[in-house]
């Protein structure tokens, strides 16, 4: 059965009644996210692998890069592709190889939010114009689907991009040398801004009327299945909106779109702060590890020095 | 009941753990496999349970999908109806369970309940179908359509523990006291389905959410009896 | 190819001579295809779309079991972008994500305005043929689909009308403000940040128009959204008026031919 099981009438009605009383099943306020957890790969040589959990939703993002030829019509740009994988691991409703609506929307919104908005400076991926550039690839895997995959995937992708380091290169005349991580300190990607996706879901506040809508952030899967419409806004902390997507669903007033944008700005700032914090923590942990390794190395050197004296 | 410990697949049940009965016969339950002449090994992971009186031994597991067994009470969701029967969902992404249109208490062609897609029923698994009445007596015995309320998902083993009831000395056999403890503070209706569904209805949405939340957390976080008592008191104080 | 938008500031006129809040010529016809249950042909400037609707009809079997869970009709949208429709001849693959996204958008927009619950277990198929592209593609498709669905006689709460709106540097250069521009052509679309707004009326006296579709994919400052959105909603009203005129004149013609 490919389609997701829809909630029973009882659950559907109960969720709506509860929302109308400002209550959610997990007892959190309507405009609050579930606990967000972000972890990076613990291997000090691995960069750009993130694991994001928002409640029970879990998304893994991995960035990889290799040297290749740029597109002939974009000689000065590197290549950056985002690929989303929605397999049966995330939800039994997803089958391998069969595209469904969630995947189309997910990949399009990430594309618009991160690629089209120029969050990653692709020119910095160019090595020799028209001949060599870095191909950057972001693989996003939804490991567990409990609603709000979009926000989680976008956060995972941004975190991975900011964490990733590409190998350093040097050019001498015609010759290009790509240094491994051991040889030279890898280089961070050039990011121009940090956009995040925020999805607001809408619920009718009265039976059979679309006039007043209850807006809810970070919905769980059950809540998502009961919603009558949603609006995804991607913006960075400076209030630059790079994507708005409302694909049908219940009609909303122009004014409430603007209210949503304002509310989303707060959440984008929250995501931004959280990401900065975690990146700094990770940086510190990595430095400490390298520091410990450095000590070991120096101890070995000292022993060598002692020998001639003794 | 004693708990000699946890077994992994392939491990042999120690002779000392086998229940001794007068007749010397042994009844093997789920998760165990008899290798002649006298070895009993585990086929899944779980904790070993024995019943000395009946000479029974089985593994209590906490994983996996619900497998319908005759006599189990389940909460089923109507998917669609046909002339003879309703097709119901017991667990997601599995073939439908069949519920006869007339498998309700006192139902005939005119009085049978009209159920729509998405409605819930509390039913019992019979040999090939599910039914909302005891076919031997014709009584509903608490089964039938469930109105309003909310279902919460728990693991099948937790649902089993919830249904074990209390022993003579008032101890909960399954080690779950959330419902009993909460029942002292608030009034609510409950139906437990062995397919990992608990239906709760009370006068306010808030109470339903709180009780359901307690159950789900007790299941996920594996609370002991003491912890359950403490949390129920703590959470219900605020309601 | 960079577009010189600086002339706008001088003459208050856009490249094609329009003012900021002027629509392009919107010409539409309905019942153009005899074979379809409903059809329409719509020109919005040089963007030309042909739309046919078939259904509501019983679902074609074979997908996910014959019985669908829904008790309502499903709206299916197929988009066909002709290879000759753009500036350079290019075949768009069916799996193009951008096209798929538009299909999803149109399908879910109509899913909520059509009275789909009247047709359980059936499908309404909307097929859009894009004959020529010159900006505002999604908007033109939505408008054409509205007309074709009306022609097919499928009950709906109201028209969905749609238009694009951009934010351009202000005509008054002393101010650091932006002017919204209505109904973009292909060149403007490449140059300026823009969004597609689709609204649904609320019937007579039903209150304000509601935003059904809102798609933006270019970076823009938050503060500019308000102006863009209000101009967009206003533009949708204008488009709605034109579409309404088309339907009425067609209805009149049908009536007259019946009487005579």
- A104 reaches C (C-beta below 8 A): yes
pLDDT of residue C148: 95
Look at residue A83 and give its three-state secondary structure.
strand
- pLDDT digit string, tens, across residues A105-149: 899 999 889 888 888 888 889 888 888 899 999 999 999 999 899
Q: Looking at the 3D structure of chain A, how many domains does it have?
A: 1
Taking each helix axis from N to C terminus, what angle separates B205-221 and A9-20, rounded to the nearest 10 degrees?
A: 110
Residues on chain C touching B79 (C-beta within 8 angstroms): 67, 69
From C104, C58, C101, C57, select the one nearest C77 (Cα to Cα): C104
Residues on chain A touching C225 (C-beta within 8 angstroms): 241, 257-258, 261
- B79 reaches C (C-beta below 8 A): yes
Residue A79 lies in a domain: yes
Which DSSP category does C81 fall into?
Answer: E
| Interchain CB distance below 8 Å, C71 and B117 | yes
Nearest-Cα residue of chain A relative to residue C202: A251
State how far the Cα of A9 lies from the Cα of B199, in Å rounded to an integer. 13
Question: In degrees rounded to 5, what are phi and psi of residue A233?
Answer: -120, 135
Q: Give the start-to-end residue ranges of the domains of chain B.
A: 6-60, 73-147, 151-238
ipTM exceeding the 0.90 mark: no
Nearest-Cα residue of chain C relative to residue A3: C64
pLDDT of residue A294: 59
Question: In degrees rounded to 5, what are phi and psi of residue C162?
Answer: -145, 155
| Interchain CB distance below 8 Å, B77 and A18 | no
Enumerate neighbours of B (3 or more CB pairs within 8 A). A, C
- Are C28 and C45 within 8 A, CB to CB? no
pLDDT of residue B184: 85
Query: Is the model more confident about B74 or about C8?
Result: B74
- B117 reaches C (C-beta below 8 A): yes
pLDDT of residue C67: 45
From A135, A246, B22, B79, select the one nearest C142 (Cα to Cα): A246
- B80 reaches C (C-beta below 8 A): yes
State how far the Cα of C8 lies from the Cα of B230, in Å rounded to an integer. 72
Nearest-Cα residue of chain C relative to residue B116: C71
Strands (E), chain A: 36-40, 49-54, 57-68, 79-85, 126-128, 132-144, 165-166, 169-172, 175-178, 187-188, 196-206, 209-217, 229-235, 240-246
State how far the Cα of A59 lies from the Cα of A138, in Å rounded to an integer. 13
pLDDT of residue B169: 67
Tell me the CA distances in angstroms from A126 to A76, A161, A171, C32, one per residue in order.
6, 17, 12, 52
Which DSSP category does A144 fall into?
Answer: E
CB atoms near residue B11 (< 10 Å): 14
| Interchain CB distance below 8 Å, A241 and C199 | no
pLDDT of residue C207: 67
Query: Is the model more confident about C243 or about B162?
Result: C243
- pLDDT digit string, tens, across residues B179-230: 888 888 888 999 999 888 999 999 988 889 999 999 998 888 888 888 888 8
Residue with tokens 């503070």: B185
CB atoms near residue A199 (< 10 Å): 27
| Interchain CB distance below 8 Å, B120 and A8 | yes
Q: Token pair of A266, please? A: 């707060």
Q: In the CATH hierarchy, which top-level class contains the domain B6-60?
A: mainly beta
Q: Using CB atoms and an 8 Å cut-off, which of residues 46-105 of chain C contact chain B?
A: 67, 69, 71
Radius of gyration of chain A (CA): 23
Q: Which of C59, C66, C68, C71 to probe the B interface (max B CBs under 10 A)?
A: C71
State how far the Cα of C125 lies from the Cα of C51, in Å rounded to an integer. 10
Taking each helix axis from N to C terminus, what angle separates A101-110 and A149-163, rounded to the nearest 10 degrees?
A: 40
pLDDT of residue B26: 79
Q: Return per-residue pLDDT of chain A as tens, 310 residues.
A: 344 578 888 899 999 999 999 899 888 899 999 999 999 988 877 888 999 999 999 999 999 999 999 988 888 888 999 998 888 888 877 877 777 788 888 999 998 898 888 888 888 898 888 888 999 999 999 999 998 999 999 999 999 999 999 999 988 888 888 888 888 888 889 999 999 999 999 998 887 666 778 999 999 998 998 888 899 999 999 989 999 999 888 888 888 899 999 999 999 999 999 999 999 999 888 888 777 765 555 444 444 444 454 4
- Are C137 and C47 within 8 A, CB to CB? yes
| Interchain CB distance below 8 Å, C67 and B80 | yes
What's the CATH architecture for B73-147? Beta Barrel (2.40)
Residue A2 lies in a domain: no
Confidence bin at B1 (pLDDT 50/70/90): very low
pLDDT of residue A310: 43
Residue A52 lies in a domain: yes
The list of chain C residues with pLDDT below 50 reads 1-2, 62-67
**CATH topology identical between B6-60 and B73-147:** yes
Q: From chain A, which residues contact B within 8 Å (Cβ)?
A: 1, 4-15, 17-18, 21, 23-27, 92-93
Query: What CATH number is attached to the domain comprising A215?
Result: 3.30.230.70
pLDDT of residue A293: 66
- pLDDT digit string, tens, across residues A258-285: 999 999 999 999 999 999 999 999 988 8
| Interchain CB distance below 8 Å, A27 and B147 | no
State how far the Cα of C124 lies from the Cα of C161, in Å rounded to an integer. 19
pLDDT of residue A201: 93
| Interchain CB distance below 8 Å, C217 and A240 | no
User: What dihedral angle (degrees, nearest 10) is formed by the CA atoms of B41, B43, B47, B52?
Assistant: -50
Element housing A157 (H / E): helix A149-163
Q: In the CATH hierarchy, which top-level class contains the domain C6-60+71-259?
A: alpha beta
- Are A233 and A154 within 8 A, CB to CB? no
| Interchain CB distance below 8 Å, A93 and B89 | no
| Interchain CB distance below 8 Å, B93 and A14 | no
Gap from C72 CA to chain B (nearest CA, Å): 12
Query: Is the model more confident about C245 or about B55?
Result: C245
Residues on chain B touching C67 (C-beta within 8 angstroms): 79-80
Non-local (6+) Cβ contacts of C253 within 8 A are none
pLDDT of residue C243: 93
pLDDT of residue C62: 43
Report the residue count for chain C.
260
pLDDT of residue C66: 40
Residue A176 lies in a domain: yes
Confidence bin at B27 (pLDDT 50/70/90): confident
Residue in B92, B150, B213 closest to A14 by CB: B150
Gap from B197 CA to chain A (nearest CA, Å): 12
Q: What is the mean pLDDT of residues B31-55?
A: 81
Share of chain B above pLDDT 70, in %: 92
- B59-73, B148-162, C128-142: lowest mean pLDDT where? B59-73
pLDDT of residue C17: 82
pLDDT of residue A1: 35
- Are B69 and B29 within 8 A, CB to CB? no
Residue in C210, C212, C215 closest to A245 by CB: C215
Q: In the CATH hierarchy, which top-level class contains the domain B151-238?
A: alpha beta
Number of H helices, E strands in chain B: 4, 15
| Interchain CB distance below 8 Å, A11 and B151 | yes
State how far the Cα of C149 lies from the Cα of B10, in Å rounded to an integer. 65
Whether the per-residue pLDDT at B83 is higher than 50: the answer is yes
Residue A101 lies in a domain: yes
Q: Which of A2, A3, A6, A10 to probe the B interface (max B CBs under 10 A)?
A: A10
């Amino acid at each position: 059965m490919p389609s997701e099981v829809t909630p029973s009438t009882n659950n559907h009605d109960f969720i709506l009644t509860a929302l109308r009383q400002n209550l959610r099943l997990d007892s959190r306020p309507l405009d609050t996210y579930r606990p967000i957890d972000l972890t990076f790969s613990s291997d000090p040589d691995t960069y750009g692998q993130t694991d994001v959990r928002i409640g029970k939703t879990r998304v893994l993002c991995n960035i990889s890069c290799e040297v290749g030829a740029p597109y002939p019509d974009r000689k000065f740009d590197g290549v950056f592709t985002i690929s989303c994988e929605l397999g049966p691991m995330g939800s039994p409703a997803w089958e391998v190889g069969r595209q469904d609506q969630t995947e189309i929307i997910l990949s399009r919104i990430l594309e618009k939010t991160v690629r089209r908005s120029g969050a990653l400076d692709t020119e910095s991926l160019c090595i020799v114009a028209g001949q060599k550039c870095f191909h950057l690839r972001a693989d996003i895997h939804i490991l567990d689907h409990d609603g709000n995959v979009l926000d989680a995937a976008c956060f995972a992708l941004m975190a991975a991009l900011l964490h990733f380091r590409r190998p350093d290169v040097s050019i001498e005349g015609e010759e290009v040398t790509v240094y491994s991580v051991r040889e030279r300190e890898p280089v961070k990607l050039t990011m121009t801004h940090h956009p995040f996706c925020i999805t607001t879901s809408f619920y009718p506040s009265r039976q059979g009327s679309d006039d007043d809508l209850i807006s809810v952030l970070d919905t769980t899967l059950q809540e998502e299945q009961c919603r009558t419409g949603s609006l995804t806004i991607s913006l960075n902390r400076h209030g630059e909106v790079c994507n708005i997507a409302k694909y049908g669903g219940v009609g909303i007033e122009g004014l409430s779109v603007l209210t949503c944008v304002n509310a989303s700005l707060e959440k984008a700032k929250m995501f931004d702060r959280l990401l900065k914090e975690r990146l700094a923590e990770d940086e510190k942990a990595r430095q400490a590890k390298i520091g410990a390794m450095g000590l070991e190395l120096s101890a070995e050197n000292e022993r060598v020095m002692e020998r001639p004296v003794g | 009941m004693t708990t000699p410990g946890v077994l992994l697949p392939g491990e042999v049940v120690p002779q000392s753990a086998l229940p001794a009965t007068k007749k010397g016969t042994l009844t093997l339950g789920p998760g165990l496999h008899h290798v002649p002449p006298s070895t009993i090994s585990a086929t899944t992971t779980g904790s070993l349970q024995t019943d000395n009186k009946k000479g029974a031994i089985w593994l209590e597991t906490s994983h996996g999908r619900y497998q319908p067994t005759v006599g189990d009470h389940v909460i089923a969701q109507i998917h669609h109806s046909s002339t003879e029967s309703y097709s119901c969902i017991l667990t997601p992404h599995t073939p439908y369970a069949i519920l006869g249109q007339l498998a309700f208490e006192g139902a005939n062609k005119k009085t049978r309940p009209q159920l729509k897609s998405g409605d819930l029923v509390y039913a019992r698994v019979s040999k090939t179908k599910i039914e909302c009445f005891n076919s031997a007596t014709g009584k509903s015995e608490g089964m039938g359509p469930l109105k309003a309320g909310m279902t919460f998902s728990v693991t099948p083993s937790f649902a089993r523990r919830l249904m074990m009831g209390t022993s003579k000395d008032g101890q909960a056999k399954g080690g779950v006291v959330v419902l009993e403890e909460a029942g002292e503070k608030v009034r609510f209706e409950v139906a437990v389905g062995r397919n990992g569904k608990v239906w709760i209805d009370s006068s306010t949405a808030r109470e339903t959410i709180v009780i359901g939340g307690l159950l789900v957390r007790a299941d996920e976080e594996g609370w002991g009896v003491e912890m359950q008592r403490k949390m129920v008191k703590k959470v219900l104080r605020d309601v | 190819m960079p577009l010189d938008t600086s002339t706008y500031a001088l003459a208050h006129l856009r490249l094609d001579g329009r003012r900021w809040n002027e629509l392009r010529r919107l010409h539409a016809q309905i019942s153009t295809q005899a074979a379809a249950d409903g059809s329409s042909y719509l020109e919005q400037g040089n963007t030309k779309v042909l739309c046919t609707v078939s259904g509501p009809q019983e679902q074609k079997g074979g997908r996910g079991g014959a019985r669908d869970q829904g008790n309502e009709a499903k709206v299916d949208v197929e988009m066909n972008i002709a290879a000759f429709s753009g500036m350079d001849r290019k075949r768009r693959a069916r799996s193009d994500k951008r096209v798929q996204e538009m299909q999803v958008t149109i399908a879910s927009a109509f899913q909520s305005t059509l009275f789909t619950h009247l047709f359980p277990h059936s499908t309404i198929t909307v097929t859009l043929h894009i004959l020529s592209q010159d900006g505002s593609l999604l908007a033109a498709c939505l408008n054409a689909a509205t007309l074709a669905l009306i022609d097919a006689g499928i009950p709906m709460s109201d028209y969905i009308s749609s238009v694009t709106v951009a934010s351009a540097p202000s005509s008054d250069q002393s101010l650091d403000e932006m002017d919204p521009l209505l109904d973009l052509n292909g060149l403007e679309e490449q140059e300026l940040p823009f969004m597609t707004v689709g609204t649904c009326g609320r019937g007579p006296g039903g209150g304000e128009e509601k935003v059904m579709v809102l798609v933006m994919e270019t970076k823009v400052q938050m503060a500019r959204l308000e102006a863009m959105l209000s101009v967009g909603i206003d533009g949708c009203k204008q488009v709605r008026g034109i579409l309404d005129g088309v339907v009425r004149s067609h209805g009149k013609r049908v009536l007259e031919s019946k009487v005579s």
